[in-house]
A and B are shown apart, each in its own frame.
Chain A
Amino acid sequence: MPRRASRYGLRIVALGYLLVVLIAPLTMVFWRAFDKGADHLWHSLSDPNTVHAFKLTLIIAAIAVPLNTIFGIVCGLAIVRQRFPGAGIVNAIVDLPLAISPVVVGLSLFLLFGRTGWFGPWFQQHGIQMLFALPSMVIATIFVSLPFVAREVVPTLREIGDEQEQAARTLGAGEWTTFWRITLPAIRWAVIYGVVLTTARCLGEYGAVAVVSGHIEGQTETATLRVQDAYENFDLPGAYGISLVLAVLSVLVLVAMTLLKPKESSR
């Protein structure tokens, strides 16, 4: 039967590693945020620019998450249920945002919408500001959070097969009815899990948005950009304060992920 010593040894190694790399840093956020007292923390969190930053983060997420959810479901259905040539390529492109650095994303958008970019002049002519404004920040966030719903939906669809849908059709259900009443309920936990991951990614996005936004205080700063801004302006409690809020949100996301995972994988 398993050797006692090696089992405890492995356990200590794993837990020790997690303690040093994961848990200790996290507790610091909570500690440092309250460094100058709760009042100071509240004061710096209610700074108008900070409030605006949170609002902006939420607005961007409110646009990006639903769009990527719809995309994820439609794309997942297309890849799994329709055998079209190039399904593999589409699958690979969907995975691309996971492997690309956010700054590369930001730069490519910069090049696309900049003054000398492919679409820059067109938008400028029509009076739409892309860079250093909301539109490019939204597109950047959509790019980096694109894969999550699709990546949950695809394996789920593959696993459950299309027998239920075929049965529905033989019973007279049309395309939309079949989708709405059969397919969607079958993948709902995968979709929800994917939405949680997408939201987390949107809230935490930094690199791509940092490049295209121009960091304009009170206008194009998201919460994550504000953290950097505060830190560089030596407003440490401010930086930790925003981080605390973001960390609390992350823990909520983590709880949601933990609760949803068994449902998602016991399809």
Chain B
Amino acid sequence: MNRFAELLDRLAYEPGRNNKLRLITAYFSETPDPDRGYALAALTGTLSFKHAKAGVIRDLIAERTDPTLFALSYDYVGDLSETVALMWPSSPLPAGERSAKAAGLEPGEGDQSARRDDTPSPAAPTRIDLSPAGRGENIVAVAARRHNNPPPPTLTEVVATLRTLGKAELPAQLARWLDELDETGRWALLKLVTGGMRIGVSARLAKTAAAALGNKDAHDVELIWPGLAPPYLDLFAWLEGRADKPINRDPAPFRPVMLAHAIEDADFSTLDAADFAAEWKWDGIRIQAVSGRDDRGHIATRLYSRTGEDITRSFPDLVPSLHLPGAIDGELLVVRGGRVQSFNVLQQRLNRKAVTPKLMKEFPIHLRAYDLLADGDNDLRELPFTERRVRLETFVAALDDPRIDLSPQVPFATWDELAAARADPTSAGAGTDAEAVEGVMLKRRDGPYLPGRPKGPWWKWKRDPHVIDAVLMYAQRGHGKRSSYYSDYTFGVWTNADGAEQLVPVGKAYFGFTDEELLQIDRFVRRNTTETFGPVRHVVHEPDQGLVLEIAFEGLQRSARHKSGIAMRFPRISRLRWDKPPREADRLDALERMLTSETAAGGY
């Protein structure tokens, strides 16, 4: 548990993806089975413990600490798990760490010099005996008693015990572990049992780190993942070259998805319009819907996100529609009254703990299919796109279900014709669904279905992003290679509040600028800071003084968490407007107007 706790601790502070990977891979290579397998399960979100709730933890700490001290501490720390981890009473003193001289000495008896050979050697076991010198009613003898403590639990013990433990036994067991672990161990334990890790590691990243152990690609792990279960002994045996690749016996496995490159103006001159088919690019969630027959001949159905995460539980209403064996690549949308809804509406169905009948009725889910990767037992991925499209049309017709339809193709003969369709999807066939179109997809007619993002066969050609001029308000330092640069920017637009013109923050951007522009902004920030709050610099933003940033973004939505009431999707800095005085930057009203005709980034 301690090594796992150390890993979580490190990951929680490490901002860089590659460094996170290194940390996780190093952990997998150092940690024996089955601990590392349970760690992989924890990082991929495969573990959940139903009885462990915050209330249990509050009760435990309330029995052990002074309520005033707890309140002061919780107020300072701001996180329950962390406060409990830090405050949990235990006094196993590190051997040799406490000063041997911490004993009552009469004046004059003390050490006469400041030479360092007076310090106890680090190896010397120290027992502190605070003998009362005269009047010591309050003296509590504290003895180093680390050697009397049972060893801390292993991760495997924790997982195995939690799986079988009844609700009534949980508090006492948690308390025993908390007694045995150190601060970091306690924090990690509490994060593990309550399920909220929040250390910035996706399941995909954890699998990529595991794959790296055997110099394999994450796709190889994704392919067999659905057939694996914690503690993944067969997976690690294969990655370390000790066994054959585990066979995915899953009847409905995930297949690594194919992604598209963004097309640039210059690309068109090298491409022949006749080689490509076009479809609308939908502003939904990319999904792979897979059905297959299990050993007993029953249909098993799974829905996967583009990274291979199983999201079936979030969309139970779609499962019955997928009654034929096959693997569809498509877009998850909400369709109400025959009309595709915007991404903002779809978002109401995402990341819900409970999928209620009301939610399913209010936000009816729909699958718009654009590719077929398997038909029955036949893998179609080697076939050219046009052949797969024909198979897809037949397959969707056979499903014959109102929840599943085909993503229509956009006819065009020249790039100019396609450009016209992209500019006006409503009259180019998308009709009332145009609101959920965020561009067009180009697919080579002769292209096979390849995992990853191969350059050439698939292109995405998004509609032009929204652009506003905003004023730089605050800047914060980045991490790693950017650690000394002010590279995170909060920007705002004008509004009239309480009768006065003022800037209200509408978003934050971290990229979009060149290295040279970063240097320029950094210099501007350093020279124009009016106040600092910890790592945040308040940058001058007056009507005549300040820096205007042209911000490109993909969409807007209402947000109660933002002071402006608006949150931006995918904002980035597209240009520095040194030429523009801040007073001429955009106003909040402009964003309010955009909110109604709203589109945003999607699944490719």
- A and B, one complex? no
Q: B residues bordering A, Cβ < 8 Å?
A: none
Q: A residues bordering B, Cβ < 8 Å?
A: none
